[in-house]
Amino acid sequence: MTWAVNEPAGEKADAGIVMGNADSSPPNVARIYDYYLGGTNNYPQDREAARKVLGTVPDVPLAALENREFLRRAIRYLTEEAGIRQFLDIGPGLPTQGNVHQLARQHNADARVVYVDNDPAVIGRAQSLLHGLDGVTIVKGDLRQPERIIANPQLREPIDFSHPVALCMSLVLHFLTNAEDPYSVVTLLREVLCPGSYS
Ligand X SMILES: C[S@@+](CC[C@H](N)C(=O)[O-])C[C@H]1O[C@@H](n2cnc3c(N)ncnc32)[C@H](O)[C@@H]1O
Residue closer to ligand X (CB basis): 112 or 123: 123
Residue closer to ligand X (CB basis): 67 or 152: 67
Instruction: Identify which of 9, 6, 10 has the alpha carbon closest to the alpha carbon of residue 38.
Output: 6
Of 8-16, 38-46, 72-80, 139-147, the window that binds ligand X (rule: CB under 6 A) is 139-147
> How many residues line the site for ligand X (CB under 6 A)?
21
Give the integer Cα–Cα distance in Å for 176 and 184. Answer: 11
Q: Please pick, from the candidates 117, 123, 130, 197, the single residue that binds ligand X as defined by CB under 6 A.
A: 117
Residue 173 DSSP class? G
Q: What is the dihedral of CA 100, 30, 4, 101, to 10 degrees?
A: 10
Beta strand 136-140 pairing with 86-90: unpaired
Q: Which residues contact 115 (CB under 8 A, 6 or more apart)?
A: 89, 90, 92, 95, 99, 100, 101, 126, 136, 137, 138, 139
Q: How many CB atoms lie within 10 A of CB 199?
A: 12
Residue closer to ligand X (CB basis): 9 or 57: 57
Rule CB under 6 A: is residue 114 a binding residue for ligand X?
A: no
What is the nearest approach in angstroms of ligand X to the Cβ of residue 93?
3
Residue closer to ligand X (CB basis): 162 or 178: 178
What is the nearest approach in angstroms of ligand X to the Cβ of residue 61?
12
Residues between 141 and 180 that touch ligand X (CB under 6 A): 142-144, 170-172, 175
Instruction: Identify which of 1, 4, 122 has the alpha carbon closest to the alpha carbon of residue 61.
Output: 4
The pattern of x and - marking residues 26 through 45 that bind ligand X according to CB under 6 A reads: ---xx--x------------
Q: Which residues bind ligand X (CB under 6 A)?
A: 29-30, 33, 67-68, 71, 90-93, 117-119, 122, 142-144, 170-172, 175
